[in-house]
Each structure stands twice: as C-alpha cells, then as structure tokens.
Amino acid sequence: MTVVATVGTTHPLAFAGLAFAALALADEGVRPVCVVAGVTAQDAACVTARAAIDAATIRAQFAALREANVDAFHVGALLSAEAVYAVAAALADYPAIPVVLDPVLAASNGDPLGDAATRAALLEALIPRATLVTPNLDEAGALLDRTIADIDAMRDAAGAFVVLGAHAALIKGGHLDGDPYDVYADANGVRTLPSHRVAGTLRGTGDLLAVTIAAGLARGAPLSEAIEHARHRVREAIARATPFAGTHAARFNTT
C-alpha cells in the first residue's frame, strides 16, 4: 500500500486543504493519512475564522503516524510560525521521505492565512527540508520579498529557493497572461515548462498539483515524471470542473 501523509489546514467545503487532498490522493489510488495543523471557516467568498493547532497536538499526530509507513509528505497551508516549526521538527524524524511543500499563504480570494512570522518560519525551517516547493507567483513574491511578474523573474525566484535549501522548486505561472508557463529549478539549473491554457475555472489547482506530485514520489516516480503527470492532471481537472457551492470544484472518481 502506498501512503501519503497530507499536513495542513481544513476547508469546510473541501475546495482545498486537507479534505481536498485526501480526495485527490484516493483518486490517485493512494492511501491518505493526515495531520491537522490548522482549522478554517471559509466558503467561496471569504475566510471567516482561522486557528492554528498547537505544537504539542501537531507532534502527537505525527507520532500517531509511526506505524503507517508513510511514503511521502504533502505540506499545505500552515497558519502560524509555531505550527511551521512543529511540522519541520516532526519531519526531521523522516529524513529519507520526500516532502512536497505547497506554501499556501492566502485563500483563493486573497484573504491571508499566514503572517510575516509564518513566512519567516517557512524560509528558515521548512523550505530547506523540501524535496520540492511549489509556490505560485504571489507566494513566491511574498516569501522572497520581490515582485514576480514575468518568466525571467520566475526563473530567478526558482533558483533562489534552491539557494535557500530546497532540493527543487516549481514556480507556478498560471496567473500570467497568455499560455501559462511553470518554471522548475534544481541544482542542475533552471527549465521553463510550457503548457496551454484550458477553458474553465477551478478552485484548488495548487493543492491538486502538489498532492499529485507527492503521490507520484510516493510510488517511486522520478521528480520530473511526477511533475509532468501532475500538470496534466490539473489541466484535465480544470476541463472537468463541476459547479459546487458557489464556485467550480474538482470532480473525483471517488465522489
């Protein structure tokens, strides 16, 4: 059995977050387990409440995973610096297990989920542990304190995350005008990954990309192969999105 542990924050409607990740993993034929590091109340329009889980409870949840034989970790939105440091400390017990870090800093409507201290903790403690970090343009800009608005800036940012200690970085360019580009960097250099824009809208594309990459790594796929499979899956999901609770949500075979 292939097992992926998803670590992050709840979303009541499963547009993103832990319930979404569990659905996406099951749809990939992977057994999901989870660590709740934060709780939100949000709908399609706004975030109305959020609370980080304390470090002791996060540690206890990781301890409960010891018998699960986790093959990869997916880390999503974390709501406090304390939560970031607790997750980083727990991951230190799994030095050989790949970690896909999706540094979600805001909800889709722009409502913030993490503050400056959270961003600093990500840079210090979690990005150096990441097998792959997958920020979008706004997240990369906030973490690196710069504006990222074109391919050249994306290439510089991807390389910067590798300098900060990540094994690899994938900067998501779906919000650029025209056909989207992602930019990948690792110790061997920087590559631009072209794509084509798919008609439609979908909430949770970043989560879907990251958790699908984690599933691929858990099955032993090379990172490049896991990334390309995930990018294809996101395009298919956008094309198949279904109206739900005031927005467009992913359609899974398990739902």
Interatomic CA distance for residues 197 and 181, integer angstroms:
9
Q: What are phi and psi of 14, to 5 degrees?
A: 60, 30
pLDDT value at position 255?
Answer: 59
Q: What stretches of 165-212 adopt beta strand conformation (E)?
A: 168-172, 181-186, 189-194
What 3-state class would DSSP assign to 73?
strand
Residue 123 DSSP code: I
Residue 100 DSSP code: E
pLDDT value at position 89?
Answer: 98
Q: Please state which CATH number belongs to domain 3-249.
A: 3.40.1190.20
pLDDT value at position 98?
Answer: 98
Residues 177, 179, 185, 191, CA torsion sign: negative
Percent of the residues in the chain that have a pLDDT greater than 70, as a whole number: 99
- Copy the structure tokens of residue 16: 């993103």
Residue ranges of domains in the chain: 3-249
pTM of the model: 0.96
pLDDT value at position 2?
Answer: 98
- Mean pLDDT, rounded, for 115-132: 97
pLDDT value at position 254?
Answer: 64
Give yes or no for a contact between 60 and 88, defined as CB atoms under 8 angstroms apart.
no
pLDDT value at position 195?
Answer: 82
Kindly report, residue by residue over 211-223, the tens digit of the pLDDT. Answer: 999 999 999 999 9
Give yes or no for a contact between 18 and 46, defined as CB atoms under 8 angstroms apart.
no
Give yes or no for a contact between 6 and 74, defined as CB atoms under 8 angstroms apart.
yes
- Mean pLDDT, rounded, for 160-189: 92
Interatomic CA distance for residues 36 and 78, integer angstroms:
9
Residue 105 DSSP code: -
Q: Which of 101, 19, 9 is nearest to 52 (CA)?
A: 9
Give exposure, 184-197, as e/b (b: 16+ Cβ within 10 Å): bbbeeebeebeeee
What 3-state class would DSSP assign to 79?
coil
- Mean pLDDT, rounded, for 166-175: 92
